[in-house]
Amino acid sequence: MQKPGLWKLAPAIVTKPWGLVHGGARRFTGIEMGVGEFWLASAQTGPGNYSNVVVEPALRKTLAELLQQASAEGRDALEPLLGARVLSHLEDNPHRGKTEAWHIRAAEGRTGVAAGPRSGEDAAHLERIIRTQSLEPNVEAWSDEVHRLFGLIEPLRGGEVFLAPAGALHTMFAVGPDSALIIDEVQQGYGESLLPTLSKILLVQDDLLSVQVHPDDATVAAAAEGRMEVDQDLQANPTVRVYDFGRRPGEYPELGFRLVDPEAGLRRVEPVSVEAGGGQLVEVIVADPHFVKSRISLSAAGACDLGPRYGSYRVLHCLEGQAELSAGGRALEIRRGDTVFVPACLEDEARIRTEAGCAFFDDAFPDVTVLTAFLGRQGVAAGRIESLLSPPRAVPPNE
């Protein structure tokens, strides 16, 4: 296999019934195409999944294909791409579930998320309502009791961050044609994916997602190994839709409520920002054993590295401005909207240089010990670090 270098990825565009309406498509054709997700860095395979094509250099292969090719050649080929610690994690956890986190990039109109039922009794009550009544696909039509059972949190504001552990029953919504909810999401690479994280952007307009829940690693492993009978392939599709408001087939309320854990629930995360020198600001947005998402900012001309070294690949997504990303004797020009996969073997030497300021998201598979030490050296109090790593339950504003 060719020695790994910096790989620029093409986004995968996914349409959804609740997506942001593409104005150009509607203007020229009259068809409302809902752009629901941009998958930025994924190695998921199988029906309903997407893996990103490497467009620079023009390898004409997806990230999944390149990782599978390296895996077939042996550990010595895959380790430089992922990192030794990451590869060991995959070997120790061959079947993985789905925990995810959401950074609210923008919220317009009436927007919100569901934190999930707070007790087993509330979960059972909500299950009875969902299985015996018809919920409107509009939260404004829901009763106060349904609002309470879902634990709706609204309004949302740009910059808020939530962690959705496996077992948390959730949905999200934007009400009205002029509404918009734009979320930067990082999650586990589920099933048997060779990339243990997945980076995407999620978009909602005048609609709401299905009511859904995700299984944990142990549940997916039990199903994959035949120790648990389930109605869907949790390896290929760990999103169990409990209720989809009549839009599509594939609702599994019985399985969904078996997976609901009232103790999980949505978590509210308070990001931690530190000055890392040279005009660099590092904001750790969310940190979980499954992933870490940070924002790296340079307010003016300058250069910086990637901060804490996790012994992991990195996924960089440019949010503002433009920059040169260099590593391994090669440089890429990166501008807003571009995503680059940085192999683990280049983590130490990757360098961002800008002439007028820039901002990037930086996703990786974390080493929590390394992250804790990095924040401690920057003067972050132990309590703030603990709250970042173990965020409290998200509570509706009226409680």
Please say if the pLDDT value at position 1 is more than 90.
no
Q: At how many degrees (to 10) do helices 84-92 and 75-82 cross?
A: 110
| 3-class DSSP state of 72 | helix
Which tens digit of pLDDT belongs to each residue from 357-386? 999 999 999 999 999 999 999 999 999 999
- Tell me what percent of the chain is helix, strand and coil, each rounded to the nearest 5: 25, 40, 40
pTM given for the model: 0.96
CA distances (Å), 92 to each of 64, 86, 96, 237, 247, in order?
20, 10, 10, 21, 38
Average pLDDT over residues 152-174: 98
Q: Which fold does the domain 270-389 belong to in CATH? A: Jelly Rolls (2.60.120)
Q: If 0-12 CB within 10 Å is exposed, 13-18 middle and 19+ buried, where does residue 302 land?
A: middle
Average pLDDT over residues 26-52: 96
Which tens digit of pLDDT belongs to each residue from 322-339? 999 999 999 999 999 999
**Quick one: which H or E segment has residue 28?**
helix 23-29
Please say if the pLDDT value at position 398 is more than 90.
no
Average pLDDT over residues 302-322: 96
Q: Name the residue ranges covered by the structural domains of the chain.
A: 270-389
